[in-house]
Structure 1
Amino acid sequence: MKNQLNSDYWENRYQTNQTGWDAGTITTPLKNYIDQITDKNIKILIPGAGNAHELDYFLSNGFNNIFVVDFAETPLQNIKKRIPHFPEEQLIYSDFFELEGKFDLIMEQTFFCALSPDLRKNYVTKMHSLLSEKGKLFGLLFDFPLTEEGPPFGGSKEEYQSLFSDSFMIKTLEAAYNSIKPREARELFFIVTPK
């Protein structure tokens, strides 16, 4: 599975418009959380960003220190066309697991569920290494049974608690009350901070 979900796999999904996860805009739970952030200078990472509609929302609200990383080149090209003034060095074409640096805020949106489930422990370890001491990882995780079929791959609140609790303080992990229609009752909103 790990090898199948490589850069070529994702590139092909974009080239053939198989992007069912792309809501075309920021989703309500993320928007509402971003609306509460007062420090516009924090360093933000959007991993596995795809077309990164959240980036547009961050920018329109005065945030500029945002870095977008994706394994496929097409979505990064799409962002360049859509936001030509966005600094090119903040669009990173890379494997998330090879990323370096420290961030104050990392946003999770349909990235975790796109990874092969055998990479979940690596995801947690990498996220911990990328967050600054007082940083936060926030976003949405799917809440439906984990099967062999995917992506997206599901998971449960219990699994996520077990996965994150060694390295992170779990501040919030609860059913999202304001999910977009196609994801209603299938998402958990979470906020974790490094221990």
Structure 2
Amino acid sequence: MEINADFWNDKYTNNETGWDLKSPSTPLKEYIDQIQNKNIKILIPGCGNAYEAEYLLEQGFTAITLVDISEVVVEKINQKFKNNPNIKVIHQDFFELDGQFDLILEQTFFCALPPNLRQDYSIKVNQLLAKDGKLVGVMFNRDFGNDFPPFGGNKTEYETYFNDYFDFKVMEKCYNSIPPRAENELFINLKKKPK
């Protein structure tokens, strides 16, 4: 099984989206709530149904970029956010994306990538972040034993991917996960290292 645009298009077309919370994740909502500057450039890779983007808009953020490889998803969120000048929706492979962002929000994108792409993810996030930029989000803190998404992991493993590029402000168990994910998520707040 190849995990590509067709794979994700099929998942969304057939409504096989068990990871979909139908709302923004609580850890990300609480992080977003404390951000003062509403004009920072924010990227949400593998944005899916973009609940976090909806929440960002409700909170007054003005520079949100969404990227997803699935044209099914992109068509849906283009309709959701049409004519909104504060959101840019891009249909593209994350690894081919260009730009500079102050904040990258991670919510179920990293765990959807095959594990052999995790180091590449760390490198790409580092490239996309502006000086003092942050990667903030939620990662699974358990092994699923799958050969398909979601792919789990743990703090020790994740540290190996991010140590070279980021200062770890926070990487700890989420205290505010939704009940089905309690004890199985890590909240991360990683700041890009100076060059």
Pairwise same-fold verdict (TM > 0.5): yes
Aligned match of 1:26 in 24, 27, 30? 24
State which of 163, 166, 169 in structure 2 corresponds to 1:165.
163
Q: 1:97 maps to what in 2?
A: 95
Q: What one-letter code is carried by the residue in structure 2 that aligns with 1:106?
A: I
Which shifted more, 50-59 or 141-150? 141-150
Query: For structure 2, which runs of at least 5 residues remain unmatched after alignment?
Result: none
For residues 69-108 of structure 1, the aligned pairs below 5 Å read 69-87=67-85, 90-108=88-106
| Counterpart residue number, 1:134 | 132
How far apart, CA to CA, are the structure 2 residues paired with 1:68 and 1:89? Answer: 7
Residue 87 of structure 1 deviates from its aligned partner by 4.1
Once the two structures are TM-superposed, the CA of residue 86 in structure 1 deviates from its matched residue by 2.5
2:179 and 2:33 mapped to 1: Cα distance?
21
RMSD over aligned CA atoms reads 1.4
The percentage of counterpart residues that share the same residue type is: 50
| Amino acid corresponding to residue 119 of structure 1 in structure 2 | L
Q: 177-186 or 42-51, which moves further after superposition?
A: 177-186
Are the equivalent residues in 1 in contact too, given 2:70–2:91 (CA < 8 A)? Answer: yes
Q: What is the CA distance between 1:84 and its match in structure 2?
A: 2.6
Q: Map Cα deviations across residues 40-82 of structure 1 (whole Å, 9 max, x no partner).
A: 0100000000011111000011002000000001122222222
Residue 46 of structure 1 corresponds to which residue in structure 2? 44
1:166 Cα shift?
Answer: 1.2
Match of 1:120 in 2: 118
Residue equivalent to 1:153: 151
* TM-score normalized with structure 2 length: 0.95
Q: Residues of 2 paired with 1:45 and 1:76: CA distance?
A: 15
Aligned counterparts of 1:139 and 1:192: Cα–Cα separation in 2: 9
- Conservation of the 8 A alpha-carbon contact between 1:80 and 1:86: no
Is 2:63–2:87's contact at 8 Å kept on the other side of the alignment? no
**How far 1:148 moved relative to its partner?**
3.9
